[in-house]
Amino acid sequence: MLKYSFKRLFQSLITLFIVITVVFLLMRLMPEEGYFGDGYEKLDEAQREAILSSMGLRDPMHIQLKNFYLDLLSGDLGESIIYRAKVPIAQILKTKIPYSVRFGLAAMAISLIFGVSLGITMARSKNQLWDKMGTGYIVFINAVPAAIYYLFLQLYITDILKLPILFNPDRPVSWILPTISMSLGGTASYAMWMRRYMVDELNKDYVKLARAKGLRDKTIMVKHVLRNAFVPMVQYLPTSLLFTISGSIYIESLYSIPGMGGLLVDAIQRQDNTLVQALVLIYSSIGIIGLFLGDILMATLDPRIKLDRKAGAR
C-alpha cells in the first residue's frame, strides 16, 4: 500500500512538472498584446520592447523557465495585467475561491447524499415505481439543458417561496436556491452510476452465497454490496471535490455570486496572459492531484489493487 502510494505520488509529480512546463511554453506563443493592457495602441515599438524585457520576456527561454519555476515554488503566480491590472493573481483568487468552494461543497454533499441513496433505492426496487421515477428524473436532468431549469427555479421558486433572487452574502436564505440548482445534475449522475453498479453487484455469485448462508437481504446490502458498488465511484470523488473551486459559470452569473465561475473564460477573452496561465495551471494540477487521491482511496477500499507485481499466492 505504502509502496503503491509513493509510486503513484512520484508519477503524479512528474506529470505535474510536464504539464507546468507545457503550459508555460504554450503561453509564450500567445499574442503579445496580452501583456500590455489598455495602453497597447498608444505605445510605439521601442516602448513595447522595453516593457516586455522589464517583465523578463526577452530573456532566453531556459532563464524564463527557471524563473517561472522559482516563482511557482515560492507561491507567486504573477500579477494580473488586464483583468485587475497590477494585482497579484493569488490575491484575486483569494477573494473568489471561498464563494465557489462553499457553494460547490454544499452542492456536492447534497448530490452525494441524495444521489447515492436514490441510486440504492432504485437498484433495490429495480423496474418498480421508485426505479421508474428515478429514471425519469435522471433522463430529465440529462436531456433538458440546465439553463432551462436553472432559470425556472430562479424565476418561479423565488417568487413562490419569497426567496431573494440574487445572492447576498449576509442573507443565508439567498444561498439555498443556488446550492440546490447546483446539486441537481450531480444528484442525477450519482444516482445513475450508483444504481448501475448496485445492479451489477446484486447479480454476482457472492450475493447468492451470502443469501444461501442465511443473511438477510438488508445485511447483504449493507455489509457486502454497498462497498463493492462504491469502489468504482470513489475514484472520481476527490477530483469532483477539488474542482468545486472552479465554480459554476452559469449559476454564479445567474445569482451574481462573485466566485471563480467564468473567470477563465473572462481572462481568455480579455487576453490576460498571466491570469490565463495561472488558472490553467491550477485546474490541471487539480486534475492530477484529484486522480492521485482517487487512486489512493480506491486502493484502500479494494485489496485487489496493488501495483507491486507479486500478487500473493496464485
Nearer to another protein, 33 or 217 (CB): 217
Query: Could you give the C-alpha distances from 211 to 173, 200, 203, 264, in angstroms and in order?
Result: 48, 16, 12, 53
The yes or no reply on residue 310 touching another protein (CB under 8 A) is no
111 vs 235 by CB, closer to another protein: 235
Contact flag: residue 172 with another protein (CB under 8 A): no
CB 116 within 8 A of CB 189: no
What is 19-85 written as a DSSP string?
A: HHHHHHHHHHTS-GGGGTGGGGGG--HHHHHHHHHHTTTTS-HHHHHHHHHHHHHTT---B-SSTTT
- For 216: left if phi > 0, alpha if psi spans -120 to 50, otherwise beta; the answer is beta
Residues 184-223 that bind another protein (CB under 8 A): 204-206, 208-217, 223
We find the least distance from the C-beta atom of residue 301 to another protein, in angstroms, to be 7
Asked if 152 interacts with another protein (CB under 8 A), we say: no
Distance (Å, whole) CA 9 – CA 15 = 10
- Grid cell, residue 30, equals 500567445
The three-point CA angle 197-203-208 to 5° equals: 130
Provide the minimum distance between the beta carbon of 8 and another protein in the complex, in angstroms, as a whole number: 20
Query: Of these, 31, 75, 145, 312, which contacts another protein (CB under 8 A)?
Result: 312
Contact indicator for 256, 165 with CB cutoff of 8 Å: no
CB 151, CB 254: distance < 8 Å: yes
Among 231, 234, 268, 289, binds another protein (CB under 8 A): 231
Q: Does 3 bind another protein (CB under 8 A)?
A: no
CA distances (Å), origin 217, targets 115, 206, 220, 226: 21, 13, 5, 12
User: In the complex, what is the shortest distance from the CB of residue 201 to another protein, in angstroms, rounded to a whole number?
Assistant: 10
Instruction: Pick from 108, 193, 224, 252 the residue near another protein by CB under 8 A.
Output: 224
Pick from 183, 189, 228, 235: which binds another protein (CB under 8 A)? 228
174: cell is 439567498
How many residues touch another protein under the rule CB under 8 A: the total is 26
Q: Binding segment for another protein among 103-111, 150-158, 175-183, 226-234 (CB under 8 A)? A: 226-234
User: Which residues on neighbouring strands pair with residue 79, listed in sequence order?
Assistant: 88
Nearer CB in complex with another protein: 48/306:
306
Judged by CB under 8 A, does residue 302 bind another protein? Answer: yes
Q: Does 308 bind another protein (CB under 8 A)?
A: no
Whole-number minimum distance, CB 180 to another protein, in Å? 34
Closest separation between CB of residue 236 and another protein, Å? 19
In whole angstroms, the minimum distance from the beta carbon of 223 to another protein comes to 8
- What are the residues binding another protein (CB under 8 A)? 204-206, 208-217, 223-224, 227-228, 231, 301-304, 311-314
